[in-house]
């Protein structure tokens, strides 16, 4: 079979060696005579899978002991509500439930906008909670094409702020924070890292919560990883009334197994973490990711038919979005890509254009093939 160049944004490419190992172990995991999908989540073999996965994640990210790792369901979108409920509860435990509070949101693309909208919706029933947009890129510039500069931020009073939220990498618009935003150390910083999780080293100590869906850089869809500072985990009876399965303490107290967790997805995440360790860890994978992204952006900037809508200092290393000079050329380019087995290059339905998602698992030679096609396409249309 001819190779397929999968540029999908998620579910996305998984390292081939990980898929092959899962294939070998599919019918008989660890001489149990059963597939991982058939193992009880209470069994010793799955307990070992879970423990090893958590241990490897701690090693890769250098996660301190005062942070917990949770495996949740419902995708990153479910965390929009979970973050709001749990971190408000933690703040109310700290200052009292009758105090006026605010939650801060950076809005740099469609996903952070959706997260902010969910907080705004949930705050309607809480008279003493306000949602503040620290910086809304679309309101400031008319489009989501950059991370607003620090002089445009409007952070709230730290004494009243339950948390500051941002989406580290906007999958749809191809906007990525080049650095961790500087906020008051008294305020928990929350990051949605769904589409750049483990693509570069991160100083976990700067965050109250890091979370992300697995289906982009970690494995298949079905599990969401949450890394949370333990002092932010409070009892279910404290703070706003919230669903049991959105309560971080319920998950933490039960080692993410209050009910049946997504066992196979966790197993696949575990295999992917082992693959990352084999690559040399996050510092090494960042070098490769930077090289892949830099050469693709160089081609976009060099070729006259292609253009990036994202400001240079805010361009994503994982989701490279670009346009051609006309919609007709974009359609032709995408059609030609499919004929060359370059799949899922079409931009998100809300913005159109072209999007090449080049996550950790994307081999550099696949980027080279895309650039070769871009150059060929330009040459064909230069006369």
- Candidate list 68, 111, 136, 317, residue with the active-site label: 111
- Cα–chain center distance at 345: 19
CB 301 within 8 A of CB 310: no
Establish whether 168 is a catalytic residue: no
Question: Cα separations (Å) of 94 from 105, 192, 232, 233?
Answer: 21, 24, 10, 12
DSSP 8-class letter at 346: B
Instruction: Give the residue from 279, 307, 121 showing the smallest Cα distance to 200.
Output: 279
In the structure encoding, which two tokens stand for residue 310, read together? 């994202």
Antiparallel, parallel or unpaired: β 319-324 and 129-136: unpaired
- 275 in catalytic set: no
Picking from 255, 197, 215, the residue whose alpha carbon sits closest to that of residue 68 is 255
What pairing do the DSSP bridges indicate for beta strands 169-170 and 209-213?
unpaired
How far lies 43's CA from each of 30, 129, 230, 260, 312, in Å? 13, 43, 27, 12, 50
Catalytic position from the list 91, 192, 275, 292: 192
Selected catalytic residue, list 216, 249, 292, 346: 216
Q: Name the CA dihedral angle for 57, 60, 63, 69, rounded to a multiple of 10 degrees.
A: -10
Neighbour-count burial for 254-278, b at 16+ CB within 10 Å, e otherwise: ebbeeeebbbbbbbbbbbbbbbbee
Determine how β-strand 342-343 pairs with β-strand 5-6: parallel
The residues annotated as belonging to the active site are 111, 192, 216
């Amino acid at each position: 079979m001819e190779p397929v160049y999968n540029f999908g944004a998620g579910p996305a490419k998984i390292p081939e060696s990980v898929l092959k190992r899962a294939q070998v172990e599919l019918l008989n995991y660890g001489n149990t005579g059963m597939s991982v999908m058939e193992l009880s989540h209470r069994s010793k073999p799955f307990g070992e899978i879970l423990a090893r996965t958590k241990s490897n994640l701690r090693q890769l990210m250098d996660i301190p002991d005062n942070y917990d790792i949770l495996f949740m369901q419902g995708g990153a979108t479910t965390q929009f509500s979970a973050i709001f409920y749990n971190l408000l509860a933690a703040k109310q435990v700290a200052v009292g439930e009758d105090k006026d509070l605010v939650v801060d949101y950076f809005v740099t693309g469609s996903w952070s906008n959706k997260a902010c909208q969910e907080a705004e919706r949930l705050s309607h029933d809480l008279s003493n909670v306000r949602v503040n947009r620290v910086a809304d890129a679309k309101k400031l510039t008319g489009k989501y094409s950059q991370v607003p500069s620090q002089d445009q931020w409007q952070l709230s009073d730290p004494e009243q702020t339950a948390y500051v939220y941002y989406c580290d990498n906007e999958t749809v618009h191809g906007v990525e924070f080049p650095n961790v935003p500087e906020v008051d150390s008294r305020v928990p910083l929350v990051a949605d890292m769904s589409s750049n999780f483990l693509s570069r080293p991160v100083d976990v100590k700067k965050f109250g919560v890091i979370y992300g869906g697995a289906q982009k850089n970690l494995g298949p869809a079905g599990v969401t990883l949450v890394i949370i500072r333990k002092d932010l985990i409070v009892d279910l009876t404290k703070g706003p009334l919230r669903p049991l399965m959105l309560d971080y303490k319920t998950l933490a107290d039960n080692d993410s197994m209050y009910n049946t967790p997504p066992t196979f997805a966790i197993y696949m995440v575990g295999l992917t973490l082992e693959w990352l360790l084999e690559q040399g860890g996050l510092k090494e994978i960042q070098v490769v990711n930077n090289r892949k992204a830099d050469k693709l952006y160089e081609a976009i900037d060099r070729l006259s038919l292609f253009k990036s809508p994202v400001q240079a200092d805010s361009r994503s290393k994982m989701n490279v979005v670009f346009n051609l000079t006309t919609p007709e050329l974009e359609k032709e380019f995408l059609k030609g890509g499919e004929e060359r087995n370059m799949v899922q290059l079409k931009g998100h339905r809300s913005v159109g254009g072209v999007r090449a998602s080049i996550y950790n698992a994307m081999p550099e030679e696949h980027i080279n093939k895309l650039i070769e096609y871009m150059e060929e396409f330009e040459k064909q249309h230069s006369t």
